[in-house]
Amino acid sequence: MANQKSDKTAGIGASVVAVIDENTGRFALVLDKTKPEPHYWKFPGGKIDKEDVNPEHPYDDHLAADNAAVREVKEETGVTVRVSRLGKLDKRTHTQYLYVGLGDFADLAATGDEGEIVKSFSLDQIRGLQNFFPNHLPILGMTLSLVGLE
């Protein structure tokens, strides 16, 4: 039964992480040119995979999402983060778990594991981007509220 739930948990959710450098306060954004246009700068994230489901807690969707958040940030940016949950959004096809993640950008990669372009941005630079992913604006707002910058 636990494996059935694990199989169901994987792929039905996604994690998105507002990644902040704990030393400078800059944000890590990724741009994936392999996706269809328009190309947007966005926060790292992705689907919950089977490897994210903890076999000791196979019914814990939140724990699987936490694990996916940390894994996706590492894969897409090279940075190891500590994540805190901001909340979740129930979408039509899946649940999206939202996080803020703190890490050291000394390990920030120029490209992610799947070819994403990775850069760090100040808050002012993000606000000035014409091609920041509109669906991630609420995540930015929640992050700024959490850290007292709004």
CA 118 to CA 43: how far, in whole Å? 10
CA 128 to CA 48: how far, in whole Å? 31
Place of tokens 């958040």: 69
**Mean pLDDT, each 10-residue run in order, the chain (150 residues):** 44 85 97 91 94 90 93 97 91 87 96 95 96 94 82
Position 150 scores a pLDDT of 61
Position 14 scores a pLDDT of 86
Strand-strand pairing, 13-21 and 95-103: parallel
With beta carbons less than 8 A apart as the criterion, state whether 140 and 126 touch: yes
Each domain of the chain, given as residue ranges in start order, spans 2-143
Cis? peptide before 38, omega within 30° of 0? yes
**Both structure tokens of 80:** 């190891």
Position 149 scores a pLDDT of 66
User: Domain 2-143 carries which CATH code?
Assistant: 3.90.79.10
Sign of the CA dihedral 114, 120, 123, 128?
Answer: negative
